[in-house]
Amino acid sequence: MQQYKENQMEDVGRCLHLLLERLGAITFDYDIVKDVMLFSIANTGGELRRIEAYRKKLCTVNRAAVHPDFLDRLLAVYMGQNVTAQEFLMDPSPRPTGKFSWYEVVAQPIFDVEGHIVRTLGIFWNIEDRKGQMETSFARFRSERDPITGILNQQGMEKAAAAYLAAQGIEENNVLLLVYLKNFGAIEEQRGKRWSDQLLIRICKGLGRLFRAGDLLAHLGGGRFAVFIKDVNMPEVVALKMQAIKALFAVDAEYGAYDFDCRVETAFYPKEGNSYLELFALARDKIGVRD
């Protein structure tokens, strides 16, 4: 019986290798503490590639390994902060030159006895055939991003939130949170577009720091922002997030000098709406802003 089980496991291993080879997949084992990445390339017989000081090199000598629009998101995957299946423009060759292709990436965090993430295990595989020509698919990606901040725009938020609610999020309690800086347009006129764009980027980073890497942040234009908060188990957390956002724009806070009139409202899924558009319409009505 023991021999049979061992043979069965060997057969499963062979089948798994065939599948990885067919996908053109690359598995990875990233040691977060030591900053060491180990890649295993299926279609070269499981060839191993070890990279030390990986995070530093990804931002310097190996920066052509991932398109800059995806760098922060990929690092969040490697750090175990956001391990849901995602798509990236990457060049995983040993000497990347920036000839990007679309890859899908999934990962699993590994915890120590104290509950800290110390490693991530994962796999990525080429999905270029599914995505079509890179130029076309990247243009589609860009159309869903705000050109100034690089985060989602209204179209991108609608698509990403709808996709989440159609899959994993359908059984979860989620929240759409809208932020409106009522007088942002007036400040933009006073200070000029270049100055306002830099402030906008800083504001988006400030808002992003308040949420998890897996939550969705969007700039909707006109001083409006949206955050789709996934899998909210404790409603009181949302109230704390709203307070934290308002605190950013308080008189004595980071953005207090600009005298923003900051308004924040929410819509809860599924209690107050069964789709992103329903949630958005309700939160917009609460906040008192129309397009």
- pLDDT class of 37 with cuts at 50, 70, 90: very high
For residue 51, which of 73, 25, 78, 17 has the smallest C-alpha distance?
78
Neighbours of 207 (CB within 10 A): 21
Contact 229, 238 (CB under 8 A): yes
How many CA within 13 A on the CB side of residue 89?
Answer: 21
Q: Is 3 exposed, middle or buried (0-12, 13-18, 19+ CB in 10 A)?
A: exposed
- Give the pLDDT confidence score for residue 4 in this predicted structure: 45
Instruction: Report the pLDDT averaged over residues 109-130.
Output: 88
At residue 41, does pLDDT exceed 70?
Answer: yes
Q: What are phi and psi of 49, to 5 degrees?
A: -130, 120
Say yes or no to pLDDT of 281 above 70: yes
Please list, in sequence order, all residues whose beta carbon lies within 8 angstroms of the beta carbon of residue 46, skipping any fewer than 6 positions away.
Answer: 17, 40
Go through the chain and tell me how many residues it has: 291
- Residues in contact with 77: Cβ distance below 8 Å, sequence separation at least 6, in sequence order: 83, 86, 105, 107, 120, 122
pLDDT in the model for residue 7: 56
Q: What is the mean pLDDT of residues 17-40?
A: 83
Tell me the three state secondary structure of residue 17.
helix
Rounded to whole angstroms, how far apart are CA atoms 180 and 247? 14
Interatomic CA distance for residues 163 and 230, integer angstroms: 12
> pLDDT of 245-264, one tens digit each?
999 888 777 777 787 889 99
Q: How far apart are CA 156 and CA 226, in angstroms?
A: 11
Query: How far are the Cα atoms of 23, 46, 81, 96, 215 from residue 124, in angstroms, in the given order?
Result: 9, 14, 17, 16, 22
* pLDDT of 273 higher than 60: yes
Higher pLDDT, residue 85 or 277: 277
Q: How confident is the model at residue 39 (pLDDT cuts 50, 70, 90)?
A: very high
- pLDDT tens column, 21-31: 666 788 999 99
In the predicted model, what is the mean pLDDT of residues 44-54?
83
Burial class (CB in 10 A: 0-12, 13-18, 19+), 175: buried
Look up tokens 């609608």; give the residue. 158
Mean pLDDT of 8-15: 59
- Candidates 79, 88, 155; CA nearest to 125 is 88
Residue indicated by tokens 């159609």: 166
**What would the two tokens of residue 184 be?**
């942002």
Phi, psi of 202 (to 5 degrees): -65, -40
Distance CA 81, CA 125 (A): 20
Lowest mean pLDDT among 67-71, 110-114, 131-135: 131-135
Nearest in space to 179 (alpha carbons), one of 219, 141, 127, 236: 219
pLDDT digits (tens, 9 = 90+) for 202-251: 888 889 889 887 889 999 988 999 999 999 988 899 999 999 999 988 87
What is the tens place of the pLDDT at every residue in 135-151? Answer: 455 555 566 778 778 78
The encoded tokens of residue 186 equal 């007036």
What pLDDT score does 48 carry?
87
Contact 37, 57 (CB under 8 A): no
pTM attached to this predicted model: 0.56
